[in-house]
C-alpha cells in the first residue's frame, strides 16, 4: 500500500488498487494450494490443512452450541444443545388435569391442617412431562416413595415425599416446638415410627386425590407399599411418558415437597376427558339445560305400532293376490301383541276393545337385547 500511494494515486484510487491486488494474490494462493493438494494424493486423506488459520466468530460458535439468539424464540433447538436434549420429548397437554391438581391443592390445604393441627399451606409448583427412567434418576435421596394403584383404571402411580417434609411431619406430629427447624439426620434408614407417620399422611393425600378426580371420573387410589429405594418403586418402563406434579407443603418455617407421578398409561382410560376444555368447578356441565331437555323429552309425541302377527311372503305370491284372497295368521284374539317404536320392541300387551276403539293393555316391558344395540 505504501508503494502505491507514493506513485501519486489518490487515497480512494489506492484503496481500490490495493483490494484488486489482494484478491489476485488470494486467487494465486488458492490455485497453488489446489495444485499442491492434487499432488499429495492419499497422503492428505484424513488430515486437516495446516495453512488454514480461520477463527470462528461469536455468532458461529453460538449456532454450533445451539444457543443462537436469533432462533431462541421459535422453540427449535439446533447444534450440540439439540443432541443433549434429544431425550426430552414434548407430550400432549391435558388441560383438565391442571384443574384436577388445583382442586387437590385446595383440598390438601384443609385436610393437612386437620391432620397436623398446624397452619399448612400447599402450592402447586409445576406440572411437567418426564420419561419415567429420567425421573427416577432425578429423585434426591433419601426419600420415601409410595406406590399406589388406581382401582378403576387398573394401573399404578407414584408419590415421592422428600426428606425435608418427612422430618417436618414427624416433628409436628410428635409435638415439636414451633419456630425451630426440623432436625435432619442424614445417612441412616427411616425408622418404623417415621414410616408409619408418613404412611398416615400418604393416606390423607390419596383420599384427597380421589376426591379431586371424582367430578371427572370416580376413581379410588389404594395404598400399595412404601419404598425408600427407587429401583423397588418401578411402575413403568424407563422410556414411558409420565406426568409429574410437584407440590410444595409449608408449615410456617418448615416443610418440603410432594411429587405425584402418573404415567400416561394410567391416565389413558380418562384421556378424552382430560383433553377437553372447561370453565368452572362443574367441568362445563349445565344442569339448567339438562333439566329443560328432560322436561321437553317427556312431552314428546312418539308413534307406537301395535303388531299382532308378521308373515313373510315372496313378492310373486303377493302379486298373485286377487280380491277375496285370504291370508291366515298364526294367532288368535288371546295372543299377545308387540308394541314397537320404530324397529325397537318396547312392550307386550293384550288386545281388547274400549268403546268403539280397539285398545291394547300393556302386560310387561321388554328388556332390549344386546343384539338390538
- 25 within domain boundaries: no
On whether residue 324 sits in a domain, the answer given is: no
* pTM of the model as a whole: 0.53
Q: Domain for residue 20, yes or no?
A: no
Q: What is the pLDDT of residues 125-160, one digit of tens each?
A: 888 888 888 888 888 888 899 999 999 898 999 999
Residue 264 shares a structural domain with residue 142: yes
pLDDT for 308-339, tens place per residue? Answer: 788 888 898 888 888 888 887 777 777 788 88
Q: Are residues 107 and 168 in the same domain?
A: yes
Please indicate, yes or no, whether residues 198 and 305 belong to a single structural domain of this protein. Answer: no
Would you give the distance in Å from CA 123 to the centre of its chain? 20
Host H or E run for residue 317: helix 315-319
Q: Are residues 259 and 337 in the same domain?
A: no
Same domain, 107 and 250: yes
Residues 159 and 260 in one domain: yes
Parallel, antiparallel, or unpaired for β 143-150 and 336-341? unpaired
In a domain, 13, yes or no: no
* 154 and 235 inside one domain: yes
Q: What's the domain range around 367?
A: 301-315+330-373
Number of domains the chain contains: 2
CB atoms within 10 A of CB 62: 17
Is residue 226 assigned to a domain?
yes
- Domain for residue 118, yes or no? yes
Strands, E assignment, the chain = 121-131, 143-150, 155-162, 221-227, 241-251, 254-263, 305-307, 336-341, 344-354, 357-365
- Whether residues 148 and 111 fall in one domain: yes
Angstrom distance (rounded) from CA 136 to CA 229:
10
Burial of 366 (0-12, 13-18, 19+ CB in 10 A): middle
CATH code, domain carrying 138: 3.40.1550.10
pLDDT one-digit tens code per residue, 242-300: 899 999 998 877 888 999 999 988 988 888 888 877 544 444 556 788 888 888 888 88
Amino acid at each position: 500500500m505504501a508503494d502505491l500511494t507514493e506513485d501519486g494515486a489518490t487515497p480512494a484510487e489506492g484503496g481500490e488498487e490495493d483490494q484488486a491486488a489482494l484478491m489476485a494474490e488470494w486467487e494465486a494462493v488458492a490455485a497453488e494450494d489446489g495444485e499442491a493438494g492434487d499432488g499429495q494424493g492419499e497422503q492428505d486423506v484424513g488430515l486437516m490443512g495446516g495453512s488454514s488459520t480461520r477463527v470462528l466468530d461469536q455468532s458461529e460458535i453460538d449456532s454450533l452450541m445451539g444457543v443462537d439468539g436469533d432462533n431462541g424464540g421459535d422453540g427449535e433447538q439446533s447444534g450440540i444443545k439439540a443432541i443433549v436434549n434429544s431425550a426430552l420429548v414434548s407430550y400432549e397437554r391435558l388441560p383438565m388435569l391442571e384443574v384436577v391438581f388445583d382442586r387437590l391443592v385446595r383440598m390438601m390445604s384443609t385436610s393437612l391442617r386437620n391432620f397436623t393441627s398446624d397452619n399448612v399451606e400447599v402450592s402447586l409448583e409445576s406440572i411437567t412431562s418426564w420419561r419415567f427412567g429420567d425421573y427416577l434418576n432425578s429423585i434426591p435421596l433419601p426419600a420415601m416413595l409410595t406406590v399406589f394403584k388406581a382401582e378403576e383404571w387398573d394401573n399404578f402411580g407414584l408419590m415421592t415425599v422428600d426428606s425435608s417434609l418427612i422430618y417436618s411431619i414427624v416433628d409436628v406430629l410428635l409435638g415439636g416446638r414451633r419456630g425451630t427447624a426440623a432436625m435432619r439426620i442424614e445417612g441412616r434408614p427411616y425408622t418404623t415410627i417415621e414410616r408409619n407417620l408418613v404412611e398416615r399422611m400418604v393416606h390423607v393425600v390419596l383420599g384427597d386425590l380421589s376426591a379431586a378426580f371424582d367430578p371427572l371420573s370416580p376413581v379410588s387410589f389404594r395404598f400399595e407399599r412404601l419404598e425408600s429405594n427407587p429401583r423397588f418403586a418401578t411402575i413403568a418402563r424407563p422410556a414411558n411418558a409420565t406426568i409429574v406434579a410437584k407440590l410444595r407443603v409449608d408449615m410456617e418455617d418448615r416443610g418440603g415437597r410432594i411429587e405425584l407421578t402418573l404415567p400416561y398409561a394410567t391416565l389413558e382410560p380418562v384421556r378424552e376427558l382430560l383433553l377437553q376444555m372447561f370453565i368452572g368447578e362443574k367441568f362445563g356441565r349445565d344442569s339448567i339445560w339438562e333439566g329443560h331437555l328432560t322436561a321437553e323429552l317427556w312431552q314428546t309425541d312418539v308413534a307406537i305400532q301395535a303388531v299382532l302377527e308378521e308373515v313373510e311372503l315372496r313378492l310373486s305370491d303377493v302379486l298373485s293376490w286377487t280380491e277375496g284372497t285370504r291370508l291366515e295368521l298364526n294367532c288368535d284374539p288371546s295372543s299377545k301383541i308387540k308394541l314397537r317404536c320404530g324397529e325397537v320392541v318396547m312392550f307386550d300387551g293384550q288386545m281388547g276393545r274400549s268403546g268403539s276403539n280397539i285398545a291394547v293393555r300393556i302386560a310387561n316391558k321388554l328388556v332390549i337385547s344386546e343384539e338390538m344395540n
